[in-house]
Amino acid sequence: MPAVEYGAEGTVESAYSNRAQEYISALGSIEAMDPADREHIAGWARPIQGRVIDAGCGPGHWTKHLVDHGDEAEGIDLVPAFIDQAMNRFPGVPFQVGSFSRLSVPEGYASGVLAWYSLIHIQPDQIPPILLELRRVLAPGGTLLLGFFESAQFQEFAHAVTPAYSWPVEEISGLLTEAGFEVLAHEKRTSAGHRPHASITARRTFDAIALNVSGAGNLRPVIGGP
């Protein structure tokens, strides 16, 4: 199993820290989010009983969205400026600086994990260990909701902040299965002026798994793409 390269996280943290205020102004409110995403996330969270971790919460707008819909949600993000803003804007909602690749919570801590566009800057061969960590913090039967850019194959592209990747739904579904999840549903959406979107809902299985994800190291991005 490949180890997570924490230096890459430092690059992402630095890139977002340098543009944190710009990001918050443009995308740091729930009103700026697509109404379809708001409804989809609220619908996923509605049946959850217990804690929900917003992994890679940014400035906290999705965490607050979950709280407003009755969930016991907390946010974690690499970028201190995002967490400072989240704590100032949404007092009473728990936030902390940290990495979703090594979450500082015990096994089975949460009933739900939201990772909405949180993994788009992760290199393909780094995805499996992060999925294992997200599984670790979920209670058996807990659910994960991933949102990401979708494409027919892994592609690296020039994101406005730092290089990012788009993923095929089928490949990510396979990695989730290998990491001990049962894929429940996925959705795709394309709209003018935006990269194709997808999300996957998956449930942590009750069975123990063999942590064998070495094959994921064979995944390589296509540089460029639309």
Domain residue extents for the chain:
6-223
- Please give the distance of CA 29 from its chain centroid, rounded to a whole number: 17
Mean pLDDT for the stretch of residues 145-160: 87
Higher pLDDT, 83 or 221: 83
Q: What is the pLDDT of residues 100-139, one digit of tens each?
A: 888 999 999 999 999 999 888 888 888 999 999 999 999 9
Question: Who wins on pLDDT, 28 or 104?
Answer: 104
Query: CA-to-CA distance for 162 and 147, rounded, in angstroms?
Result: 18
Query: What is the C-alpha separation between 226 and 216, in angstroms, rounded?
Result: 24
Distance between CA 114 and CA 143 in Å, rounded?
9
Q: Quickly list H helices, the chain.
A: 6-18, 20-27, 35-45, 61-68, 80-89, 127-137, 169-178
Quote the pLDDT of residue 52.
98
Roughly what angle, to the nearest 10 degrees, separates helices 127-137 and 169-178?
A: 60
Strand, coil or helix: 114: strand
- Residue 41: which residues within 8 A CB-CB, separation 6 or more? 62, 65, 66, 114, 116, 145
What is the residue whose two structure tokens read 């990747």? Answer: 165
**What's the gap between Cα 174 and its chain centre?**
17
pLDDT grade for 14, boundaries at 50, 70 and 90? low
Cα(78)–Cα(1) distance, integer angstroms: 23
Percent of the chain predicted with pLDDT > 90: 57
Average pLDDT value over all residues in the chain: 83
Residue 17's pLDDT is 63
How many CB atoms within 10 Å of residue 48?
Answer: 21
Range name among 26-40, 64-78, 137-151, 206-220 with the lowest pLDDT average: 206-220
The pLDDT value recorded for residue 84 is: 92
Alpha-carbon distance of 170 to 160, in angstroms, equals 26
Enter the pTM of the model: 0.82
CATH of domain 6-223: 3.40.50.150
Report whether pLDDT(2) > 50.
no
